[in-house]
Amino acid sequence: MAKEVQLQDLFDTLRIYLGSLYVNDFNRFGRTWQVVVQADQRFRYRIEDAKRLKVRNARGTMVPVAALADIQEVTGPLVLTRYNITRRRR
């Protein structure tokens, strides 16, 4: 809030650069091609890459993601065993 960045704008920036976003289709050479926006793999591989991303605030200036969020690596289980959508206890 203090940086005047909408939470949705922050999430959209992370989703587009680190994930991907379908934009539209276009026709060329008799085929239909999808346009998908995504950062190149070498620019989204490390945590520092995400911290360098910038989001536009309400005043039009760019704010680094590192100033808005604490980004850290967290690991989870490699496999979740499920049966009928519920987690199995071991």
Who wins on pLDDT, 24 or 49? 24
Number of folded domains in the chain? 1
Output the average pLDDT for the chain: 86
Note down the domain range covering 58: 7-87
Residue 86 CA to residue 75 CA, distance in Å, equals 21
pTM: 0.65
Is residue 51 a contact partner of residue 14, using CB atoms and an 8 Å limit?
Answer: no
CATH number, domain with residue 15 = 3.30.2090.10
1 falls within a domain: no
pLDDT at 27: 95
Query: Which has the closest alpha carbon to 22: 32, 11, 12, 36?
Result: 36
71 falls within a domain: yes
Who wins on pLDDT, 36 or 44? 36
